[in-house]
């Protein structure tokens, strides 16, 4: 055994992000937390634009995309938004509700530091800049091979997150390790990210970059409402990010720039006016956006044929296209897919086929919507594992 890590540990938590820190601070058994970055909570410290959208007051299990419909219920029921709020209140960390249900801290760094401090106070030894090379189970012990020697432990918590934000050290370690242990990993893809669009639509988006509006984006049977932001590569903003959670490569998406309004009826109401469509729509849509979006269809209403009027209405209410790709993992807020949850006990996050191995957070095939859902899953899944580890 290594001189640096000489003892058989009760438990080792691999990964010092949101879920790993939360787990470490939630039970009292002596434990070791390993983090490959030079500091813990690197991704957490910049989340929410530095403000940390740490939960959503109205979250439900239905707000998560998961291959097993009811997998999230136990953990979410056991650890509610009010439970994390209570932790912050006890630590005197200020927060506020911005949009209905969305809670933000004053500083993401404060939340990260609080979780680090809480872990240390609850019997956690934290080692940073340690690379975990492999994980194996030998009889009743796990052998963790690291850049600083081998560690032996009775229990292991895999909390290394997903593939999003590789610039902050994210990697596929959890998935590689799971596969090496014989576990199934579902398809991995970027989620909660914008869409790149084909030409000539990209030219339109480029010209409108920085402009935003309220819109609806539909993927299959799902329709997401919210702000749509034009970028140099396509579209982003909350509506697009939510839609990306459900989109698959090659699938069409549909955009409605006038949610709640029937564009054809509206344009026909002004059929005899000498104004272009963009001026008629000015109360609902900025002239700059409508002119660029309609292009050659932005004609005077009085001169419009029935066919051109219908085409303009479709462009506004039901514009369809196939994205070339999403913004990728470097811009994604989360990873969709992960360790197949059919292999995990939903009340404890313990692996059914490898007793003593717990998998939590983004490493699992559980992805929430934009708005604090994914951080809350980190807290809830970590609390579920910690509850069980504390009994052992």
Q: What's the pLDDT at 41? A: 95
User: Could you tell me whether strands 195-196 and 325-326 are parallel, antiparallel, or unpaired per DSSP bridges?
Assistant: antiparallel
DSSP summary character for residue 108? H
Q: Judge whether 3 lies within some domain.
A: no
83 and 152, same domain (yes or no): yes
The C-alpha atoms of residue 83 and residue 322 are separated, in whole angstroms, by 42
What tens digit of pLDDT does each residue of 344-392 get?
Answer: 999 999 999 999 999 999 999 999 999 999 999 999 999 999 999 999 9
Residue 6 pLDDT: 58
When pLDDT is averaged across residues 62-83 and rounded to a whole number, the result is: 96
End residue of a domain, out of 293, 326, 359:
326
Q: What Rg do the C-alpha atoms of the chain give, in angstroms?
A: 24
138 pLDDT band (50/70/90 cuts)?
confident
Specify whether 285 is located in the same domain as 147. Answer: no
Q: Provide the 3-class DSSP secondary structure of residue 216.
A: strand
Q: Is residue 3 predicted with pLDDT exceeding 50? A: no
Residue 144: give its domain's CATH number: 3.50.50.60
pLDDT band at 165 (very low <50, low <70, confident <90, very high): confident
Question: What does the alpha-carbon distance between residue 109 and residue 258 come to, in Å, rounded to a whole number?
Answer: 39
Round to the nearest angstrom and report the end-to-end CA distance of the chain: 24
User: 76 with 215, same domain?
Assistant: no
Asked whether the beta carbons of 201 and 175 are under 8 A apart, the reply is no
Please say if the pLDDT value at position 7 is more than 80.
Answer: no
Residue where one domain finishes, among candidates 326, 350, 367: 326
Give me the mean pLDDT over the 199-219 stretch.
97
pLDDT of residue 383: 98
Segment 264-269 shows an average pLDDT of: 96
128: β partners: 35
Same domain, 170 and 199: no
Q: What is the DSSP string of 222-238?
A: EEEEEEEEE-SSEEESH
Domain assignment present for residue 378? The answer is yes
Q: Is the pTM of this model over 0.85?
A: yes
Domain co-membership, 142 together with 206 = no
Q: Do 336 and 315 have their domain in common?
A: no
Decide if 39 is inside a domain. yes
| 109 occurs within a structural domain | yes
Does a structural domain hold residue 379? yes
Q: How far apart are CA 275 and CA 266, in angstroms?
A: 13
Q: Is the pLDDT of residue 125 over 70?
A: yes
Residues 165, 239, single domain; the answer is: no
Q: Given pLDDT bands bounded at 50, 70 and 90, which one contains residue 246? A: very high
To the nearest whole number, what is the mean pLDDT of the chain? Answer: 95
- Decide if pLDDT at 64 tops 50: yes
Phi, psi of 364 (to 5 degrees): -85, 160
Write a three-state SS string for 331-391: CCCEEECCECHHHECCCCCEECCCCCEEECHHHECEEECCCCHHHHHHHHHHHHHHHHHHH
Q: Residues 73, 118: one domain? A: yes
- The pLDDT assigned to 1 comes to 42
Residue 154, domain member (yes or no): yes
Contact 204, 292 (CB under 8 A): yes
Q: Which residue has the tokens 């984006």?
A: 217
Q: Which of 186, 234, 204, 179 is nearest to 65 (CA)?
A: 186
Q: Are residues 181 and 299 in the same domain?
A: no
Q: Are residues 288 and 343 in the same domain?
A: no
> In the prediction, which pLDDT does 169 show?
85
**Shared domain check, 221 and 302:** yes
Question: For the segment 178-188, what is each residue's pLDDT rounded down to a tens digit?
Answer: 999 999 999 99
Look at the chain and report how many structural domains it folds into. 2
Work out the burial of residue 388: count CB atoms within 10 Å of its CB; fewer than 13 is exposed, 13-18 middle, 19 or more buried. middle
In which residue are the tokens 């438990």 written?
11
In tens, the pLDDT along 32-44 reads 999 999 999 999 9
**Which CATH number belongs to the domain containing residue 303 in this structure?**
2.40.30.10
The last residue of one of the domains, among 326, 357, 382, is 326
pLDDT score, position 5: 52
Answer positive or negative: Cα dihedral of 134, 384, 79, 25.
negative
Query: Is there a domain that residue 1 lies in?
Result: no
What would the mean pLDDT of 74-87 be, rounded to a whole number? 98
Which structural domain range is residue 50 located in?
8-189+330-391
Does residue 182 sit within a domain? yes
Q: Are residues 120 and 183 in the same domain?
A: yes
User: Taking residues 235-261, what's their average pLDDT?
Assistant: 97
């Amino acid at each position: 055994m290594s001189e640096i890590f000489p003892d058989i540990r009760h438990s080792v938590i691999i990964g010092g992000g949101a879920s790993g820190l939360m787990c470490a601070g939630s039970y009292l058994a002596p434990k070791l937390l390993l983090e490959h970055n030079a500091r813990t909570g690197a991704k957490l410290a910049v989340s929410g634009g530095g403000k940390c959208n740490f939960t959503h007051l109205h979250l439900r299990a239905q707000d998560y995309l998961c291959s097993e419909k009811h997998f999230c219920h136990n953990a979410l029921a056991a650890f509610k938004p009010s439970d994390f709020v209570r932790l912050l209140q006890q630590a005197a960390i200020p927060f506020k509700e911005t949009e209905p249900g969305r809670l933000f801290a004053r500083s993401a760094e404060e939340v990260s530091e609080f979780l680090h401090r809480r872990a240390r106070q609850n019997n956690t030894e934290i080692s940073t800049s340690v690379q975990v090379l492999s994980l194996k189970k030998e009889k009743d012990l796990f052998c963790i091979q690291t850049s600083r020697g081998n560690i032996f432990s009775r229990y292991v918590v895999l909390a290394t997150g997903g593939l999003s934000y590789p610039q902050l050290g994210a990697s596929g370690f959890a998935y590689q390790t799971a596969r090496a242990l014989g576990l199934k990993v579902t398809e991995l893809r970027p989620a909660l990210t914008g869409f790149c669009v084909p030409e000539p639509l990209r030219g339109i988006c480029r010209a409108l970059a920085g402009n935003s509006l309220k819109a609806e984006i539909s993927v299959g049977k799902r329709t997401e409402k919210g702000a749509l932001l034009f970028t140099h590569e396509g579209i982003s903003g909350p509506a697009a990010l939510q839609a990306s959670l459900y989109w698959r490569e090659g699938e069409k998406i549909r955009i409605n720039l006038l949610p709640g309004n029937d564009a054809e009826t509206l344009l026909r109401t002004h059929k005899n006016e000498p104004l272009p469509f963009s001026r008629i729509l000015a109360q609902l849509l900025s002239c700059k956006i409508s002119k660029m979006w309609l292009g050659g269809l932005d004609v005077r209403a009085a001169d419009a044929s029935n066919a051109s009027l219908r085409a303009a209405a479709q462009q506004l209410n039901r514009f369809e296209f196939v994205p070339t790709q999403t913004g990728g993992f470097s811009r994604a807020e989360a990873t969709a897919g992960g360790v197949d949850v059919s292999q995990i006990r939903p009340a404890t996050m313990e692996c059914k086929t490898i007793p003593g191995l717990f998998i939590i957070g983004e490493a699992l095939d559980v992805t929430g919507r934009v708005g604090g859902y994914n951080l809350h899953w980190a807290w809830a899944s970590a609390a579920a594992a910690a509850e069980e580890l504390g009994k052992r």
